[in-house]
Amino acid sequence: MSSNVHTIPEAHEILMEQLPDWFKPVLEYIAIMQAYAVELSGVESAAAKIQANYFVETADADTLKYWEDLLNIPQRAGDTLEFRRTRIMLRLNQRPPITVWDLRDKLTELFGTEYALEVNPQQNTAKITITSDRYGAVDLLYDVINEIMPAHLAIIANQEVNNTINSNNYAAMLIARTLEQTVGGNDSDVVSVIVGNNYNAAPMSVAVVQSI
């Protein structure tokens, strides 16, 4: 909450200081100032909320929903306020036509150094590889591709996240094959788990590769 918002006891103290000295000991005036203090604190809270909702970076959930509806941004249960603010700001900051440098700046803003971009102007192709494990990275990448990329440019985009998890399980035999299994995801978010062991008594590892 903003530092300009006073608690009820603080508001009561401020109101009491404004009374003439001969009214301060009167119980009726003390009670009246307590009632006013509740209203004063509520008014300050409402004013602070209105001020915060002027800006996407500090807006609450209801205001973010207004922007998402206005900009036709799909909403999903579980998205954090920070992620929703990022998507809204990304949409508001789109200024076509876009150049290669604009695209690099946008990808750097979203993913830092965890991406690779290759553009072939002769073949009109752009290859984008995201290696960031940031929450919602796939959706942010699609926002960039679908909204600001030129229609004549063929886009090759994927996300690659590699996580190796070592366990205390040991294999007592030689496994000569590898199992690849899809474990969840949606139409644009496929997760494959590759499990393999090389030799007797070797620790088992799981490598998770996510691609789009």
pLDDT (tens digit per residue) in 101-153: 888 888 888 888 888 888 888 888 888 888 887 777 777 777 777 777 777 77
Helix (H) or strand (E) segment spanning residue 143? helix 137-148
pLDDT (tens digit per residue) in 185-194: 444 443 333 3
| pLDDT score recorded for residue 98 | 73
Per the document, the length of the chain is: 212
Averaged pLDDT, 39-54: 92
Please say if the pLDDT value at position 198 is more than 70. Answer: no
| pLDDT score recorded for residue 143 | 75
Please say if the pLDDT value at position 5 is more than 90. Answer: no
Looking at the DSSP assignment, which residues form a beta bridge with residue 125? 120, 154
Question: What torsion, rounded to 10 degrees, do the Cα atoms 121, 122, 125, 129 define?
Answer: -70
| pLDDT score recorded for residue 71 | 87
Continuous H helices in 24-60: 27-52
CA–CA dist 59, 86 (Å, integer): 12
CA–CA dist 164, 212 (Å, integer): 20
CA–CA dist 27, 135 (Å, integer): 56
CA–CA dist 10, 15 (Å, integer): 9
Contacts 24+ apart (CB under 8 A), 163-167: 163/133, 163/207, 163/208, 164/205, 164/206, 164/207, 165/205, 165/206, 165/208, 166/203, 166/204, 166/205, 167/203, 167/204, 167/205, 167/206
CA–CA dist 35, 8 (Å, integer): 9
| pLDDT score recorded for residue 187 | 44
Does pTM surpass 0.85?
Answer: no
Please say if the pLDDT value at position 4 is more than 90. Answer: no
Q: How confident is the model at residue 165 (pLDDT cuts 50, 70, 90)?
A: low
| pLDDT score recorded for residue 65 | 93
CA–CA dist 178, 176 (Å, integer): 7
pLDDT (tens digit per residue) in 51-97: 999 999 999 999 999 999 998 888 888 888 988 998 898 888 776 66
Residue 194 · residue 172 · CB < 8 Å:
no
Task: Estimate the crossing angle of helix 137-148 against helix 100-111, to 10 degrees.
Answer: 160
Higher pLDDT, 205 or 30: 30
